[in-house]
Structure 1
Amino acid sequence: MKSLLLSVVSRLGALLVALPLAISCPPQAHGQTLPFATQQQIDSVFARWNNPTSPGAVLGVVHHGHLVYQRAYGQANLARQEPLTTAHRFWVASMAKQFTAASIALLAEQGKLGLDDDIRRYLPELPWLGDTVRIRHLVHHTSGLRDGFTLIGLTLRGERHYTNANVLAMLRKQRGRNFRPGERHEYNNGGYVLLAEIVARVSRQSFAAFTEQHIFRPLGMTHTRFEGQLSAAIPHLATGYAVRYPHGQPRYHAAHFRGHTVGSSGLVTTLADLVRWDQNFYQNQLGQRRPELLQLLLTPGRLTDGTSTGYAFGLEVTPYRGQPAITHNGTDPGYQAEIVRLPRQQLTLICLANTQNLYGLTQQLFRLAEQLTPAAFDPRPAPTTPDRPRADLAGIYLEPRSLATVRILTLRDSTWHAAASTQGYARPLRSTGPDNYVNQGLGEYSYAFGRAENGPVQELRYRERSAAATLHKTAPATLTPAELRGFAGRYYSPELNQQYRLTVRRGQLRLSLYRLVHVPLQPLAGNRFLADLQGHNCLAFQRDQAGTLTGFTFHREAINGLIFRRR
């Protein structure tokens, strides 16, 4: 009797805890107004995760202000065999940026800051690097500052050191930058940490408290909060999972971001709350409730030369097949998230996942949108005759200014493959015409090769929605053992306060980490080497007038010209 009573009390307590979630989230079984065949099409996209041995995702479809379809697929916790529901909470990684940018816009509306203010007015501890970095530069990823998170990562101290305080501390030590403010668009997580710090200092509240008071509470987003760090204390949180593929089969293990940060990430939310956020873009309920706030949030920034960045206030604003489209995804260990909004159709698709293997999620949601409103989109181009594989496409293509982007083209079984680092996944490509390719499957990445008057290939123009780069074909180098040994040694970066050690092992120059991991370096012409360490990296070595090797500069995404001196 006692055990039964305890069981009843326990179940009642769990029901009372879950009740607010059930009230705030539209019932999963009601309001499904899509035709059954359309529901089946949607469900087929997520079928591989909809089983008791896999984490999964929740999906919501909003049309003309109504949640016309919602469903959960897979498990919230594999160990407990807890199925996902549409009421579960998720860590949404970089999707958080739109709320950070909205906080800046609200403070601007209140007259408490200006978008053209020098960020050092609020962050005086940051160094002067030769040009004024303005708040709008941080919003639109055009500041030219190095990414504080990447700098922390290069110290090799682990993810727990990813905190807002450490980002600020690392940026205080910088004596160089990636480019002049406004010159280029380069995604920068650390810039949004700086925005969150500005919000806190200007409002004299914690960033979490400001967003709660000025965004989440006014919109009724009662299950959304900038937690900063994941913990078991967060109620109704879906457990995140990373995946490996031994023998080609997925194997999941619990994983999550172990840092503690807000601004660039750090947000936990639900499907129902994001529906409320989405609907605010049609009738503003925030701040002074003026439509001008929405217009600001949706206006992409521009570079100094007037070129649009395609990036507004934490939102990508880029057309898709003739339709205006607003998106932003998020990926951190164990989690993925995406919102795709098509304002002319008043159609939004929201997906929150507790696994990292929903590959091509943004494009998948666009494809679902096409099925829901097919007449709205421009027709797809007619199929073209595939181009015959041309052997001279093979090689290494490097972005010449920053050295931070590479594509490596290889031909296997008559199919071209493109990798974004020396050891990275090689995507199979399909031809769309002479010297033009897209990735097989969803086709969201395009590759256009340029030749010199129908001669040899010289460059590759790569595009992924608003992101584009022109890469130059770069010759590999063959070095003798003696030449390789000439690069070996210890190199120190004062801006990182970190030493790197290069050694020669098994005929290759390698970056040796703690004498345990030895990352091979691929030599290129011009004393440059490629390394795959959590993605693409390039080391460009310098010599003095006497020919003596003095050090190298380090380059990767959001890091340009970081100096290492030879010791």
Structure 2
Amino acid sequence: MHQSHPSIDRPQARPSHSARRPQQRRGLQRGGRVVATCLTAALLLTVGGMSAPGFAKASADEAAAAPYAAVMEKAYDPAEPGAAAIVTRGGEVVYRAARGMADMEHEVALEPDMIFRLGSITKQFTGVAIRLLELEGQLSLDDPLTKFLPDFPQTDEPVTVEQLLAHTSGIKSYTGIPGYMDQEIRRDLTVDELIDVFDDEPIDFAPGERHLYNNSGYVLLGAIIEKVTGKSYAEFLQERIFTPLGMAHTHYDDPEQIVDDRVEGYEKEGDEWRNAPFLSMTQPYAAGSLMSSVDDLARWNRALHGGELMKPEQAKALWTSFTTDDGEEVGYGYGFAIGELRGREMIQHGGGIHGFRTYALYLPQDDVYVAVLANNTDNAKSPSRVAQQLAAIAVGDPFPERKAIELPEETLRRYVGVYRIGEDDTRTVTFADGKLHTQRSGGQRFEILPESETRFFYENTFSYLDFVLGEDGEVSHMLFHPDGAEEAERADLTDEEVQTRTKIEISAEQAAAYAGTYKMQPGFEMTIRVDGNRVFSQLPGQPEVELFAEATDAFFLEVVDAQVTFGREDGAVSTVTIHQGGREMPGEKVE
């Protein structure tokens, strides 16, 4: 249940068995197997007007659809897990499509009206539910959490309902507890049991001090809704939102319920697609347990901005940025994030849960809404990127299609150096194997591709940077445009030397000494695996990465700016320390 923040973006329980049956109405039965209709294209679309139940049908206009279809075709392979998408302008559908597979095992193609897990887009519904109760006088956003949950441990400064909504409470997010997402997320829990998971955890900061994306806050909001109304969270949403708005394809996810057109979720390991791992859907709760279709989400957005649930001026508070105690705007309201797209105000939220990634945005200036729901977690198929591309087309300001060119090595090498962003932050440009890479302090290394002699871009993103030359023709600074933003971040080239690390060979016997499990924090362990003379490390919930020796007991990573050192006691390896971004995390060898 994610945003572009940490979240329940990982959890996703296996869909019900109903999703795994051959769906004969969707295809042709041949030899006992389903061959999905339109499998050759696996792209079903509508252009012109709303075609889902409750919307006026219109004939497809292939010419108008072509730019949108091109984005979907580039992002999603028809033979792999894919996505459904909808684009509306002024309340009318201008594009509606699905591409890819809903069920790999039964060869069922995706269709636009199918139902996906939403992940953190659920938070929009929780935020609106709280706002409805506030407008009815059943609660105040200034009410302390303990008014409704008196047994929740109190902090020096009381946590308010509004701080829970805006992710500024400081309460520990249970999905960020080390090791929790590996096994504990699989357990069925009541709401009280779920709250017990994190209620005794130390707070991350004083309430209102700063913004940190937090699933625990939305669990607590769900509990408040139940306390105030005397109904379950699911019942309240059904009665007050889903039924009145005709959202027949939106449900609180119950894996045991038979749900027509529920799609399967998938994750990729190397080049292989696998069924998404299980999690109990009792745990995402009010932070991420809803499922829906793109049609229902379009209805939802229209109702929010059309005064069906509350007056437009009352709804505006939902997407007004919260301000921390020191006056910083956090870019988040009450279940809605606020940003910009192509210079326009953008209201948006993303989601992620095992096997699913989702994203929805609204551009009020143009009355354009886009939702993309994907049944895979492949970063190369990011629904946020696809949705933003579709929205940019809808407003007549599409993102440029960047193409890499070849540049001589001499030209590439002139950009190598350390570029200073601020006192404690740099972006380093390096050259290796004929390619340029950039790496921010403590961050991951990314390749940049040349679009011209001075402009480079990051593949599968909107971000790009320009190297600026001085009057003498030498590199002066770089201008980095995150997500294609007009406003750039400047970093000046310094005289600092690029720190290069030299790999050394170690023997298989030396490597074997590092193998084992290291306890970094309670419930959070790092595993060191050895293959011959190669050393690999893995932290919970992260991919395995190779460590490269640069000295005895000293290693570095290539994928991220981090180092790992080992300590010894009586000659035997006994400790490990991770060094990254100026921070250190020590651990002890336990086996």
1:109 aligns with 2:109: no
Aligned counterpart, 2:329: 308
Residue type of the alignment partner of 1:113: L
Residue-by-residue CA offset, 1:214-251 (whole Å, 9 max, x unaligned) = 21122111221121x545733220112223453xxxx4
Q: Partner amino acid for 1:359? A: K
Aligned partner of residue 287 in structure 2, secondary structure: coil
Structure 2 partner of 1:269: 292
1:210: Cα distance to partner?
Answer: 1.2
Contact in 1 for aligned 2:517/2:525 (Cα 8 Å): no
Amino acid at match of 2:296: D
Q: Tell me the distance in 2 between the aligned counterparts of 1:307 and 1:267.
A: 31
> 5 Å matches for 1:333-372?
333-357=354-378, 359-372=381-394
Cα drift, residue 203 of structure 1: 2.0
What corresponds to 1:428 in structure 2? 448
Asked if structure 2 preserves the Cα contact closer than 8 Å seen for 1:75 and 1:84, the reply is: yes
Question: What is the identity percentage for the equivalent residue pairs of Structure 1 and Structure 2?
Answer: 24
Q: Which residue of 2 aligns with 1:218?
A: 244
Q: How far did 1:347 drift?
A: 1.4
Residues 282-431 of structure 1 aligned to structure 2 (within 5 Å): 282-286=305-309, 289-357=310-378, 359-374=381-396, 389=413, 393=417, 410-418=430-438, 426-428=446-448
TM-superposition CA deviations, 1:37-88 (whole Å, max 9, x none): 2212211222257776223222212121122332222222222222222221
In 2, Cα distance between the equivalents of 1:212 and 1:92?
A: 16
Q: Relative to structure 2, which stretch is displaced further, 85-94 or 386-395?
A: 386-395
CA contact (8 A) 1:129 1:175 kept: no
- Compute the TM-score of the two structures, normalised by the length of structure 2: 0.68
Distance 2:575 2:489 in 1: 30
Q: Paired residue for 1:97?
A: 123
Mean Cα displacement is larger for which, 123-132 or 71-80? Answer: 123-132
Do 1:396 and 1:476's aligned partners in 2 also have CA atoms closer than 8 Å? no
The answer to whether the 8 Å contact 2:118/2:373 transfers is yes
- Counting only pairs closer than 5 Å after superposition, residues 133-144 of structure 1 correspond to structure 2 as 133-144=159-170
Unaligned runs of 5+ in 1: 1-9, 15-23, 381-385, 450-454, 543-548
The match for 2:63 is 37
Matched to 1:300, the amino acid is S
Distance in 2 separating the partners of 1:296 and 1:47: 37
Equivalent of 2:80 in 51, 54, 59: 54
Instruction: Give SS of 2:372's match.
Output: strand
- Quote the Cα distance in structure 2 between the aligned partners of 1:83 and 1:95: 24
Residue in structure 1 matched with residue 233 of structure 2 by the alignment = 207
> How far apart are the structure 1 equivalents of 2:422 and 2:575?
24
Partner of 1:440: 459
| Kept after mapping to 2: 8 A contact 1:31/1:68 | no
Per the TM alignment, residue 170 of structure 1 is displaced from its structure 2 partner at its CA by 2.9
The 1:80/1:422 distance shift into structure 2, 3 A limit, reads: farther
Aligned to 2:37: none
Distance (Å, rounded) in 2 between the aligned partners of 1:58 and 1:447:
35
* Equivalent residues in 2 for 1:64-143, closer than 5 Å: 64-143=90-169
Q: Aligned to 2:170, what secondary structure does the other structure show?
A: coil
Task: Tell me how far apart the structure 2 counterparts of residues 298 and 317 of structure 1 sit (CA, whole Å).
Answer: 7
| CA distance in 2 between partners of 1:566 and 1:398 (Å) | 37
| Aligned amino acid, residue 263 of structure 1 | A
Give the structure 1 partner of residue 43 of structure 2.
none
Closer/same/farther in 2, CA of residues 456 and 379 from structure 1, 3 Å limit:
closer
Per the alignment, in what secondary structure is the counterpart of residue 337 of structure 1? strand
Note closer, same or farther for the CA distance 1:439–1:291 as it changes in structure 2 (3 Å cut): same
Amino acid at match of 1:264: A
Alignment-mate amino acid for residue 174 of structure 2: G
Taking the aligned partners of 2:70 and 2:201, their CA distance within structure 1 comes to: 49
2:16: which partner in 1? none
Helix, strand or coil for the counterpart of 2:273?
strand
Cα shift readout 1:513-543 (whole Å, capped 9, x = no counterpart): 89xx98767899xx9998999x99999999x
Superposed displacement of residue 475, structure 1? 7.3
Preserved CA contact (<8 Å) 2:223 2:233: yes
Per the alignment, residue 263 of structure 2 pairs with: 238
SS in structure 2 opposite 1:340? strand
The total of aligned residue pairs comes to 513
SS at match of 1:331: strand
Aligned partners of 1:486, 1:143: CA distance in 2, in Å? Answer: 40
Shift of 1:116: 2.1
Question: Partners in 1 of 2:430 and 2:179 — Cα distance?
Answer: 30
- SS of equivalent residue, structure 1 residue 243: strand
Show the counterpart of 1:254. Answer: 275
Aligned residues: CA RMSD? 5.5
Q: What is the aligned partner in structure 2 of residue 175 from structure 1? A: 202
Distance 1:501 1:37, change over 3 A: closer
User: In the aligned structure 2, how far is the partner of 1:334 from the partner of 1:155?
Assistant: 14
Secondary structure, counterpart of 1:221 in structure 2: coil
Counterpart amino acid of residue 319 in structure 2: L
The answer to whether 1:195 aligns with 2:221 is yes
Which residue identity lines up with residue 411 of structure 1 in the other structure? F
CA contact (8 A) 1:57 1:84 kept: yes
Name the TM-score, length of structure 1 as normaliser.
0.70
Cα distance in 2 for partners of 1:537, 1:192 equals 33
- 1:172 deviation in Å? 2.2
Distance (whole Å) between structure 1 residues aligned to residue 514 and residue 24 of structure 2: 69
The CA deviation string for residues 380-404 of structure 1, in whole angstroms up to 9 with x for no partner, is 9xxxxx9955565479999979xxx
Runs of 5+ consecutive residues of structure 2 not aligned to the other structure:
1-22, 28-49, 402-406, 469-473, 568-573
**What SS does the aligned partner of 1:54 have?**
coil
